[in-house]
Structure 1
């Protein structure tokens, strides 16, 4: 879990040896993490603005005041910057900060309705690692529907008019129904940014493939790289079975869906690294308002601390001292996977419970 994770893409491997000193290489990764934190902050501001607009339109003033006390963007950026996993990634010279930067850049571009920027981040992230390819589903949902918001059926609750009412009340109800219709129109799927994203993705993909063919001129051909990638695709194809069910259930929260995909990818990777955990823990801070009632938070917090401390100890006992065996280290890895599974399950449960709470608030 705490091992090095170096990207095997030709474009990155060709560029990294040009850096003369290890300190300068680590400085590049620190700058990448800092930019990622700033993008997380901007993404959190976009998500919280959409959330507050919904609460304001539905007159949920109590929840609106609560959301103003916590800035999701600041929480996400601070969690990402001061996360020990992220610090270890930079100190160890891992290339995960570059991949994390591209992933967050694609999500920020989708939340900000910038298809070209989102396509660039998604193409480069997919080139560095195969797993970000599944993020095309939440990115398309973000571009089509906009930032995360409660389900459409919640907008329909206040548009239902009573059977009998005063004429003056009827006029107000007609105005409110018009507002609700406009809200529903805002949440209709828009194909224009999606088509723009597909066009830009094709352009960036062609550009990356051309660069790969140039860099691989002395080491083989582009077809040789694709043959090696074919084994990786087949080996990790099990993650594809989770894409559709989660997308159907969480299509109204595409950014949270991206967090779930990234967390599941970090669990199913054959060689996970601490950089993967640093990314999804930072994304988790974007939903601090929705996750206020998450269960087992105390257990999860100290469980991550315990696993983080035990992992290097067990590795040292197994590899260097010879007083332990591989089962000690593998047991720590299994405990770490269980913690990640519990975190994903409870996070999804908390977000869905938050949507049910909003429904109760509107029907009260």
Structure 2
């Protein structure tokens, strides 16, 4: 009953805020809307399409043709349902995250039972009880439903709401062992925003763990299904655009090349504003390699036994380093953190990161107003806040990974610390 009440309250809050006078302001905020997910730009693209003009010929519309057709149909036949549709999609995202956490808890309980004999005696207290594990899905649900980042993202009616739903369904499909469902939805998310392509690695590991056959065969099947689904979506999108693949440059090309340097909460816009043009290609490649490729292999090698943690970290890193991030991306991966509640005792940066999140979230709009409206600040002030926000997120993710390693070491070797047979002491001189 309490879970249902959370859905109702969160849904009503979102639905009410969309109908307030603040909706227009929120939908244009740089923290919420980007050139990729802006509702205003989507409306413009739909208007052009409705009047038989290719929306990808200009530089204002960068969504996938599938979303273009979907919202074109909604606006044409049931425009009054738009607030309800966005609210429903966000609540559905929370539901699938809840189901994902519930399945993960069962898997974690079984794995904990298997390794219980190899755990050091003084580390037995670190094992989680059934009551502690039972709380995890509800924490995940609550964090997503009532996180201000997620709420504002939905109220701003950004297409990140759709992307979050696709990611949530793909995670649920992978932990449930539904290969086609997981691959189809991660292909949809990739088709919309490109960066979710990195998740095919943890999803392949999860699906291989669920299958009872050869792991290598499972990896190959997952990759093939994903490639076929993605290729089919590219073909369908070209069919929608009268057989033209020109949309690819204004979707994938726009994400990779970063031509629009409107400020956002990311790191790209300031660097490329200040950079000499003849260095641009070098740094575009460096930044995109950092966002798409750099961390996959080392993190997979270290966390291959915890694919859900690997997925969480990769989602977080892509949210930090993608070319056009927004707070909706941040709100999604924050909702996954309660799955790792048992690691919180091993994390050392919780207070610092929490304060940084609060301070930067308050300073961002303030400095933006001083820069754009009052003229008493400049771009350096706003970038300083966004850089601090990104740093706080990096501290959070690295702290989470180190906490996992610390807990793993403690379970195996015990919690006592001896040097030459005596208790270790830290002495400051």
Same fold per superposition (TM over 0.5): yes
- TM-score w.r.t. length of structure 2: 0.69
1:233/1:327 CA distance change after superposition, 3 Å: closer
1:299: which partner in 2?
352
1:336: which partner in 2?
389
Select the residue among 21, 28, 31 that pairs with 2:88.
Answer: 31
1:88: which partner in 2?
152
Q: CA RMSD in A?
A: 2.6
For the residues of structure 2 that align with 1:2 and 1:63, how far apart are their CA atoms? 39
2:225: which partner in 1?
200
Alignment map for 1:75-114 (pairs within 5 Å): 75-114=139-178
For the residues of structure 1 that align with 2:178 and 2:216, how far apart are their CA atoms? 14
For the residues of structure 1 that align with 2:289 and 2:330, how far apart are their CA atoms? 21
Residue 271 in 1 paired to residue 271 in 2? no
2:300: which partner in 1?
247
Residue 16 in 1 paired to residue 74 in 2? no
String of CA shifts for 1:36-80, please: whole Å, max 9, x gaps. Answer: 111111111221112211222325764445453242221111111
For the residues of structure 1 that align with 2:415 and 2:380, how far apart are their CA atoms? 53
After TM superposition, the structure 1 stretch with the greater mean CA deviation from structure 2, 62-71 or 286-295, is 62-71
1:257/1:19 CA distance change after superposition, 3 Å: same
2:215: which partner in 1?
190
C-alpha displacement of 1:362: 11
Count of matched residue pairs? 322
C-alpha displacement of 1:352: 1.2
Confirm or deny: 8 A CA contact 1:107 1:118 kept in the other structure: yes
* Runs of 5+ unmatched residues, structure 1: 148-185
C-alpha displacement of 1:17: 3.6
For the residues of structure 2 that align with 1:23 and 1:277, how far apart are their CA atoms? 29
Confirm or deny: 8 A CA contact 1:32 1:101 kept in the other structure: yes
Residue 132 in 1 paired to residue 196 in 2? yes
String of CA shifts for 1:295-326, please: whole Å, max 9, x gaps. Answer: 12122122211111111111111112222211
4+ long deviations beyond 3 Å: 17-24, 59-67, 191-196, 230-235
1:323/1:22 CA distance change after superposition, 3 Å: farther
1:355: which partner in 2?
408
- What secondary structure is seen at the aligned counterpart in 1 of 2:346? coil
For the residues of structure 2 that align with 1:65 and 1:10, how far apart are their CA atoms? 46
Higher RCO by CA contacts (8 Å cutoff, separation 6 or greater): 1
For the residues of structure 2 that align with 1:298 and 1:189, how far apart are their CA atoms? 44
C-alpha displacement of 1:100: 0.9
For the residues of structure 1 that align with 2:182 and 2:372, how far apart are their CA atoms? 43
- What secondary structure is seen at the aligned counterpart in 1 of 2:294? helix
For the residues of structure 1 that align with 2:221 and 2:349, how far apart are their CA atoms? 42
For the residues of structure 1 that align with 2:128 and 2:235, how far apart are their CA atoms? 52
For the residues of structure 1 that align with 2:177 and 2:241, how far apart are their CA atoms? 35
For the residues of structure 2 that align with 1:202 and 1:306, how far apart are their CA atoms? 42
Confirm or deny: 8 A CA contact 1:111 1:146 kept in the other structure: yes
Confirm or deny: 8 A CA contact 1:123 1:201 kept in the other structure: yes
Confirm or deny: 8 A CA contact 2:348 2:399 kept in the other structure: yes
For the residues of structure 1 that align with 2:130 and 2:343, how far apart are their CA atoms? 9
For the residues of structure 1 that align with 2:79 and 2:383, how far apart are their CA atoms? 31
Alignment map for 1:206-285 (pairs within 5 Å): 206-217=231-242, 221-222=244-245, 224-228=246-250, 229-230=252-253, 232-233=255-256, 235=284, 236-239=288-291, 240-285=293-338
2:261: which partner in 1?
none
C-alpha displacement of 1:271: 2.1
1:189/1:329 CA distance change after superposition, 3 Å: farther
